[in-house]
Structure 1
Amino acid sequence: MTIDSDQPTPVPRRLQLEHAQAVAEQADRHAVTLESILAVLRSARLDDRASRTTAIDLASSSLIELRSTTDQQRGTMLEPVDGAFARLRSDLRPLARFGGLDVQFVEPPTGGRALPGEVAHAARAIVRSAVLALVDQEDAKRVRIQWDCDGLNLLIDIRDDGEGRISAHDDSLRPIAERVSALDGGLDVSSTTGWGTTLAIRLPLDPPAETEPLEDSADFSPRERDVLRLVASGARNRAIAAQLGITDNTVKFHVSNLLRKAGVRTRGELTAIAAASTRPRQ
């Protein structure tokens, strides 16, 4: 078989997902830092000078941690579950201290199986996102966070004392659900009006099986498959329309359907996943 040297080697879809998760985790960490800084600046417990000093310290510490995290190798790294939980407590400490939020932590059992780096990073990001969502959507004043491990899964339980209005289909939980799904995990949401919301999350400790190519994993029409292959090649709407003999608006319609069926929100995400999973035809 002759290999075309001009054909780029497809990137495994798993690597694409890992990269997207790393970017999302950094965004979550930035959100927690910014929320903490705002909480400090709004705090009635601190005068102007003290609030500025504390905000600068938070920003500086976050910048240092970001730089070190960027250089960190995640692939084979393992973290003890109690160590990963301690890092989560550190992440949320400023929000609890200056934001008026009572965060209660139930320590995981020591020992046992360590967490793969990807799971530990994702778990912390998921909890940070969940806490922000509960505070924003539920007006919660108290959040209880518990981790446990059954040897096969990391089990996360998050409860608040808010209004109990959040459902599993709430937009604020979509990023959390997507991240859990990417790890082949499970998310259950239960809310009771006036009593609060509970999120029960299960994250497998072993990596998920390699998924089938995107073209085969979704119910695409023949025309949508044609558009998908061209999107994966980097072609824009006008070029796709010219090659397939359709209008620009028709291309937009097909791309919209592809986004919905692939479960992504942007063309960039669709391009990355499609390029990773589309193989040259023999």
Structure 2
Amino acid sequence: MTDAPALPSPASRALVIEHERIVAEQADRHAVTLESVLAILRSPRLDDRAARTLAIEAAAAALVVLRTATDSQRSALLEPVTGAFARLRSDLRPLVRHGDLDVQFVEPPTTGRALPGEVAHEARAIVRSAVLALLDRGAPHRVRIQWDCDGLNLLIGIRDDGEGRLTAHDDSLRPIVERVSALNGAFEVASTPGWGSELSVRLPLDPPARPEFLDDAVDLSPREREVLTLVVAGSRNRAIAAQLGISENTAKFHVSNLLRKAGVTTRAELVALGASRMP
């Protein structure tokens, strides 16, 4: 019989979570880049040569961003709210320039409180995911993105003029719900058929620290604590399996056990409960 592998240290787990966040941001950016390239190639305003040139430029620009990204960009340092918003505009610029979607940006006040690095990152990821979800579900022509600060929270508003059939339970919004819940924020969706959908997000500027387990009243195995940490960080089952060196079915089994032990029925509820309980 071989000895059981040593459990990763808290520092190692923190590195795993940080890696997951970086991968998630890169995935969001890649999705926007692919949507932008497709918009260029499908544009009736461009001939084949011009479309090919612009598509290459968009892909090359995305590669430059990927290659120059550093951990310092995602550190816990504060980001001015206007600077964080400018980075969001940069992320979405190819889609705005070459697609049929009209994206309107409402600038945040320059006097707004600086954002913690984690909040700024999550806010950009939420908006990117929301725009892609709106494109996927409602075929909008116009999307309006607004950020504001009330001193305690970052307030995000996203409104489109699509079919107006989006709900908070839509699968395409699940990553957003989990991100918001992990930061102890609030998320609402209001849709009017034929008039569009409006997404409202509130993110506290001082979010609770991410927990490693629920509390002493819930009996969790060491492996379940590791899985819960990754779930609260926003990881899906496949990513959890890859990080912990287990099968995806085993990861799914652990998540099911966590749901049962925590007394909840959805992953979003588990994230919210995990984020509100401290050891």
| Equivalent position of 1:39 in the other structure | 39
On the 8 A contact 2:32/2:95 being kept in 1, the answer is: yes
What residue is the counterpart of 2:111 in the other structure? 111
Alpha-carbon distance between aligned partners in 2 of 1:217 and 1:130, rounded to the nearest angstrom: 36
Residues 171-210 of structure 1 aligned to structure 2 (within 5 Å): 171-210=171-210
Match of residue 122 from structure 2:
122
Counterparts in 2 of 1:236 and 1:171: CA distance versus 1, 3 Å: closer
Range with bigger deviation, 115-124 or 12-21: 12-21
Alpha-carbon distance change, 178 to 6 in structure 1, aligned in 2, over 3 angstroms:
closer
- Match status 1:258 vs 2:257: yes
Q: Matched residues in 2 for 1:147 and 1:109: separation?
A: 8
Shift of the alpha carbon at 1:47?
Answer: 1.2
Equivalent-residue separation in structure 2 for 1:115 and 1:252 (angstroms): 33
Contact 2:157 2:199 in 1 (8 A): yes
| TM-score, structure 1 as length reference | 0.75
State the AA in 1 paired with 2:88: L
1:1-282 mapped onto 2 (5 Å cutoff): 8-11=8-11, 16-211=16-211, 213-214=213-214, 216=216, 225=221, 228=224, 254-255=253-254, 257-258=256-257, 260=259
Q: Which amino acid aligns with 2:132?
A: L
TM-score, normalised with respect to structure 2: 0.76
Change (3 A) 1:202 1:6: closer
Q: How many residues align?
A: 247
**Deviation digits for residues 56-87 of structure 1, max 9, x if unmatched?**
11111111111222343532322211121122
User: Taking every aligned residue pair, what percent have the same amino acid on both sides?
Assistant: 64
Q: Give the direction of change, closer, same or farther, for the CA distance of 1:216–1:60 in structure 2 (3 Å limit).
A: farther
| Partners of 1:40 and 1:99 within 8 A in 2 | yes
Query: Unmatched 5+ residue regions in structure 2?
Result: 229-243, 269-273
Q: Is the 8 A contact 1:135 1:141 kept in 2?
A: no
Structure 2 CA distance for aligned equivalents of residues 98 and 110 of structure 1? 29
Please, which runs of 5 or more residues in structure 1 have no aligned partner? 238-248, 266-272, 274-278
Q: Secondary structure at the match of 2:49?
A: helix
1:226 shift after superposition: 8.5
Render the CA deviation track for 1:192-225: whole Å, top value 9, x for unaligned: 111111100011111313425157586x7xxx84
Distance change >3 Å, CA 79–CA 6, structure 1 → 2: closer
Point out the more displaced range, 253-262 or 77-86: 253-262
User: What CA distance in whole angstroms lies between the structure 2 residues aligned with 1:164 and 1:184?
Assistant: 27
Moved more, 155-164 or 206-215: 206-215
* CA separation of 1:210 and 1:178: change in aligned 2, threshold 3 A: closer
The CA distance in 2 between the partners of 1:148 and 1:107, in whole Å, is 8
For 2:69 and 2:226, how far apart are their aligned partners in 1? 35
Q: Which has the higher contact order (CA 8 A, sep 6+)?
A: 1
Contact 2:213/2:225 (8 A) holds in 1: no
RMSD of the TM alignment (CA)? 3.4
